[in-house]
């Protein structure tokens, strides 16, 4: 059973243990692979409207996600999220639970839609999961992501209207 709760300042060291290897791999997020811990914390926790942690029954953090406006001003009714799951907890429904939770939170915060701006085409598990949750690929950005081993690969813009 995965529980999702608001992120607390004290969660950062554990979250960083999940986030750091994902960012260092450089194959799913556009953050610089050598991003500093402080810059990552600012991007993941300080700048978003909300950040959450997913944990198991024993309180062990399994993953984390942030939710923020995708654009300022006239585009602020569409939100954007980023999700990361600990390697040991993958394929156990954690990302799916966070996706569902994020949609509920987005609605609660008044967002009308959710958009993922840069879903790397080689991240087939994420593409499949987001599609299972009702997101559509609304655009393909040819060669928009520099993958560390595959070179320039496409990235997708994925979108879902949130029924109010």
- The pLDDT averaged over each successive group of 10 residues in the chain (164 residues) is 94 97 96 96 96 95 97 96 92 93 97 97 96 98 98 98 82
The answer, as to whether pTM is greater than 0.85, is yes
Distance in angstroms (rounded) separating the CA atoms of residues 63 and 86: 6
User: Are 154 and 144 spatial neighbours (Cβ–Cβ below 8 Å)?
Assistant: yes
Question: For the domain 3-115, what is the CATH superfamily, name and number?
Answer: Gcn5-related N-acetyltransferase (GNAT) (3.40.630.30)
pLDDT for 68: 97
State the distance between the two ends of the chain, measured CA to CA, in whole angstroms: 28
């Amino acid at each position: 059973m995965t529980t999702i709760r608001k992120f607390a300042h004290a969660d950062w060291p554990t979250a960083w243990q999940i986030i750091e290897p994902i960012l260092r791999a450089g194959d799913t997020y556009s953050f610089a692979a050598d991003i500093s811990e402080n810059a990552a914390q600012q991007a993941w926790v300080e700048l978003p409207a909300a950040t959450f942690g997913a944990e198991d029954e024993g309180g062990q953090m399994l993953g984390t996600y942030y939710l923020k406006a995708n654009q300022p001003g006239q585009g602020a009714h569409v939100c954007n999220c980023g999700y990361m799951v600990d390697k040991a907890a993958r394929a156990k429904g954690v990302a799916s639970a966070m996706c569902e939770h994020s949609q509920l939170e987005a609605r609660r915060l008044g967002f009308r839609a959710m958009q993922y701006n840069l879903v790397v085409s080689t991240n087939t598990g994420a593409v499949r999961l987001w599609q299972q949750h009702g997101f559509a690929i609304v655009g393909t950005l040819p060669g928009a992501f520099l993958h560390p081993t595959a070179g320039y690969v496409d990235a997708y813009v994925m979108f879902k209207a949130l029924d109010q």
